[in-house]
A = this chain, B = another copy of it.
């Protein structure tokens, strides 16, 4: 089984060789810029690791994993816009709208979403395609909640805004490995905990979100509890989940 770094390299390679729709023309530059940001590719790696743990072939899940990364990238490009979070930098580089202008950033985000669904469309399994579609709507709904105030329910906001894509990553990995829906439950419970853990660790690093809402100590406790639950869910899965456990290690190693 491939380790996280090998899976990450496979994702990078697939992204580099990704052929975009020719009709996008010169917009491709902004789309590539958004994708080349040097992120950790956590979602696609999670997808591939799930497929392999479930007995499937990494190659069968590469397009789905890439589609999820494209959806994530689309969400960042639009979220960074002046009308939303108004962020000028992301991972040490100017954001897409700073580099290419606001109009092109809006179109580049649109194109990323359309290209993601084009990749997903190659799968005959309707459930796999639906996984990505529902996660996208959920993520957009989460952005809306974030914009309009989450009424104090930050965990619900996180569940939509960031959690849905993590769940789709695991879900797509399972469908790509042809795991029937009826036996997916423990994997999916793991993905929910993993998504929560990701956001809690992120809030600890940035000292915002949950930290601002509940305080540092309570958030640290939440991280420890969520990590324990994620590991417990993994143990319920009847498969070699050692690489998925490594992904949990990677998340918790980030925690300050």
Binding site for B on A (CB under 8 A): 21, 23-27, 74, 78, 81, 83-84, 101-104, 106-107, 109-111, 113-115, 117-118, 121, 124, 126, 129-130, 133-134, 136-138, 140-145, 147-148, 160, 164
Contacts and interface: CB of A to CB of B under 8 A. Distances in A.
Nearest to A133: B118
A140 B83 contact: no
A126 B121 contact: yes
A19 to B, nearest CB: 12
Nearest to A30: B144
A114 B140 contact: yes
Contacts of A81: 103, 106
Q: Copy number in this complex?
A: 2
B133 A121 contact: yes
Contacts of A130: 118, 121
**A-B complex: 9 closest residue pairs judged by Cβ atoms:** A83-B102, A21-B137, A23-B141, A27-B144, A23-B138, A83-B103, A114-B136, A24-B141, A117-B117
Nearest to A74: B110
Contact of A107 (B27, B147, B160): B147
Contact of A114 (B26, B133, B145): B133
B144 A24 contact: yes
Nearest to A144: B27
A84 B106 contact: yes
Contacts of A106: 78, 81, 83-84, 106
Contacts of A84: 103, 106
Contacts of A115: 137
A140 B26 CA distance: 11
